[in-house]
Structure 1
């Protein structure tokens, strides 16, 4: 029994020593009792940016000591990525770590670089962050040289800032973004230092051109010693930096203490690193492939995962480009059909549902601006006023259409209009609206001709009739009618919303109230006629002694 107690005591002491040693191996700056994990596992867009910000605020409020961004993304929108990088770099009071958990391409790679440390899973890959243009429905498009350089500038500015903040090689990270950054890796003979240099720097150190080891296409076999960026571009990028460069290179006198390891990226390539090369180049600090290893990396007692809300998943679907364009098209077409063939309310209901989804999805996650919604609602109100209250004025309807279209375009176009992405979204949105207007008017006209109800089109051309002689207008409006029903009094056969039905001498007629909603059974009087539709107004006094229309 004493022997057993001694063995048990010894085991407890050894176990406690092991745990203590494990904790001691975690640097003080990394030691975190509570670690929050925020996953980014979708293409990066404005929804991602809003979601990550929300989850980051929740984690900080819950008392997290470190934030891990669990990355497995193909990339995404430039504006959203830059917004996220800025948010991450503002977290001065909490450690941020990028966990490349399978892949972090394009925007995902730049988000990883924005964190203070990068860890990788076995087989992880990151890089290839060159800007590309993608037109909805048309796929990827090649950028002109000038446009490409314009888009590269903010990305190069971003990665250089990340490198200087977090201790990465700034030449190495620039090769993620732009071609032309052919780089060679050199290592000190004792293996303690590594540098990544271009051909010009290689000549300055070793007095000769570097060997070309990564050929592609018609690339010259002799290395170019021209700097990757011209002097003007380099000066511009440097002027945008808040932190000065501390990058140092070996002198030619000490070149004998260095050796060439190999060419790491070619002249016409973008850098992509796997988990092993990320560790070797100093981009990643450790390989972490499980939650247990992650907790050990921080010496953490607990981890908490912060997931996207269901509302954010729904909003991402609803604000996706195909869905938004479809909603705009359906809304415009059904609105025009309802205006052309009023009464049922089905098409108007569909239009309102589409409008609600267009506005509601951004509102759900706080992305819609109040003035966009005001413009849309004001536009609808002005259009309704033009059609129902003051037909023929014209200017009110024009202001309404303009307000509605500006609000819709602003709501759908999320990128900066000064960017290539914003320009593409603007062109696509305007084209979709134009096509939907044409389709809606065509369908509305066809239905109107089939049903004989031309109320909308009579309203649209009413202002042209105002300038005509009143006798000619009256003749033109009523010459095909068997009887002038103006002045007849009856009751609303159905609710007038403001359209509905009235019965005159046993015949059901389409009618529209000129005073808005009129309840069923309300006495009304015929005051005008447009085609097959009667314009009526509610009577404020009991019906006159004129012959009852129902007798």
Structure 2
């Protein structure tokens, strides 16, 4: 009797889906594919593997974006074992990099009105990439399509408008394709849902996620919704080309301002924070390596040494700036760079540097004309011909001896004749407590040198 009751109870739970083993991850890929997206996709895949999910449904609606980001996602999908079915659920556009990600999935399903294709590569100016880059993309699209049993010629035609064809082999049958607009040379291939189904790129037409599950034979499966967390959102924001260029600009701007002033202040702090945000984002997005971090830190250390230790600005400071630029350039290059990525990295660095210089010029112009500047400076020039004197009563101190009451690196404070005076070292670093002699006085500038003790 008991075994009979157990069997009846088990059949009841199975029929109601309580003991259903199917777990499906629903992962959105919307808007621009940037360098922060692969980290989110890889996290979703890792969790799906850990939870022994039956399928991952990628909800795709994108006009594309970074090819290097899409390549990382494509590789992560292809490396999944066959126990997890991957589905590209195209709800809008799967253009450019979105087409590459879709082709990497085990199944492709599309809603009415959706499309896939137009995956040619462009440079940072938005122009068609070089033949070398197009050839690389064509090969990658072809190999991805072949890995999933889809037509390689159609995948190539999405990238290269020089490819023409009249027939397509689908599941062993040769289908007439001359009516496709992208089948003619000079036109990139973009397929509608109906066309994608006809030529074997898509597997089914659906409208909702439950219909996707029904197609997979997983009706009633548990759905786990995945979304970008706050740290991934921050990284995606900071790795945006515009934001990363702005961070580099602020970094250069702050350091260049700091170099022009004694000691350490707000501009240098802003510069270091901006560069830290830039590096942190690239490190999280797995663009940067520890070697590149070391290069950047060496550059920052050289600049700090020039500003705080070595008087003036010379070879050490210039080497620091060059080292920082090298570190930033290497961070802009992805792990699997295309030839165009080197050009994009160069342009990004140039934009940051030029932006910093332009920022210095504009800030100088704006500051001089601001009310604040007018309040702390004279609105006219005091000329000696008009009775003004550059003397402020310190000339009599020339030749006097005193003591440094702060470190002079090269500026600091000294005590001369019981007076606390701001002074600048002649060139040598002067420690607090060292004896000093006043060499010259020019307006507010008091030059001192260290006295050697016998």
Which sections of structure 2, spanning at least 5 residues, go unmatched? 1-11, 378-393
Q: Are 1:526 and 2:436 counterparts? A: yes
> Could you say which residue in structure 2 is the equivalent of 1:42?
31
> Could you say which residue in structure 2 is the equivalent of 1:491?
405
Q: Are 1:510 and 2:428 counterparts? A: no
> Could you say which residue in structure 1 is the equivalent of 2:145?
163
> Could you say which residue in structure 1 is the equivalent of 2:317?
397
1:73 CA displacement: 1.0
Q: Are 1:83 and 2:83 counterparts? A: no
| Distance in 2, Cα, partners of 1:502 & 1:291 | 76
| Distance in 2, Cα, partners of 1:101 & 1:497 | 63
Q: Mapping of 1:389-538 within 5 angstroms?
A: 389-391=309-311, 394-414=314-334, 419-434=339-354, 436-437=356-357, 440=360, 483-484=397-398, 487-489=401-403, 491-492=405-406, 500-502=412-414, 504-505=416-417, 508-511=420-423, 523=433, 525-526=435-436
| Distance in 2, Cα, partners of 1:529 & 1:359 | 45
Q: CA-to-partner distance for each residue in 1:418-472, whole Å, 9 max, x for gaps? A: 6123213313413532553576489789999x999xxxxxxxxxxxxxxxxxxxx
Alignment partner of 1:75: what SS?
strand
Q: CA-to-partner distance for each residue in 1:78-108, whole Å, 9 max, x for gaps? A: 2222222222111124222211121110110
> Could you say which residue in structure 1 is the equivalent of 2:56?
67
Does the 8 Å contact 1:67/1:96 carry over to 2?
A: yes
| Distance in 2, Cα, partners of 1:396 & 1:352 | 18
Alignment partner of 1:92: what SS?
coil
Does the 8 Å contact 1:180/1:267 carry over to 2?
A: yes
Does the 8 Å contact 1:85/1:114 carry over to 2?
A: yes
> Could you say which residue in structure 1 is the equivalent of 2:81?
92
Q: Mapping of 1:28-427 within 5 angstroms?
A: 33-93=22-82, 94-135=84-125, 140-143=126-129, 147=130, 149-184=131-166, 194-196=173-175, 265-300=183-218, 301-342=221-262, 345-391=265-311, 394-414=314-334, 419-427=339-347
| Distance in 2, Cα, partners of 1:35 & 1:115 | 15
* Worse-matched range after superposition: 385-394 or 347-356: 385-394
| Distance in 1, Cα, partners of 2:256 & 2:121 | 40
Q: 1:156 to 1:341 in 2, by over 3 A?
A: closer
1:417 CA displacement: 6.4
Does the 8 Å contact 1:525/1:536 carry over to 2?
A: no
| Distance in 2, Cα, partners of 1:382 & 1:441 | 25
| Distance in 2, Cα, partners of 1:410 & 1:41 | 28
* Greater C-alpha Rg: 1
Q: 1:486 to 1:37 in 2, by over 3 A?
A: farther
Alignment partner of 1:133: what SS?
coil
* Worse-matched range after superposition: 500-509 or 39-48: 500-509
1:535 CA displacement: 7.3
| Distance in 2, Cα, partners of 1:481 & 1:409 | 51
1:373 CA displacement: 1.7
| Distance in 1, Cα, partners of 2:439 & 2:285 | 48
* Worse-matched range after superposition: 411-420 or 290-299: 411-420
1:506 CA displacement: 6.5
Does the 8 Å contact 2:258/2:307 carry over to 1?
A: no
Q: 1:446 to 1:534 in 2, by over 3 A?
A: farther
Q: CA-to-partner distance for each residue in 1:102-135, whole Å, 9 max, x for gaps? A: 1110110111111111111222111111122233
- What is the aligned-residue RMSD (CA, Å)? 4.2
Q: 1:161 to 1:344 in 2, by over 3 A?
A: closer
TM-score using structure 2 length: 0.76
Does the 8 Å contact 2:435/2:450 carry over to 1?
A: yes
| Distance in 1, Cα, partners of 2:400 & 2:73 | 66
TM-score using structure 1 length: 0.64
Which sections of structure 1, spanning at least 5 residues, go unmatched? 1-15, 23-30, 199-211, 215-262, 453-479, 542-551
| Distance in 2, Cα, partners of 1:343 & 1:79 | 42
1:193 CA displacement: 7.3
| Distance in 1, Cα, partners of 2:366 & 2:450 | 32
Does the 8 Å contact 1:159/1:173 carry over to 2?
A: yes
1:414 CA displacement: 4.1
Does the 8 Å contact 2:310/2:410 carry over to 1?
A: no
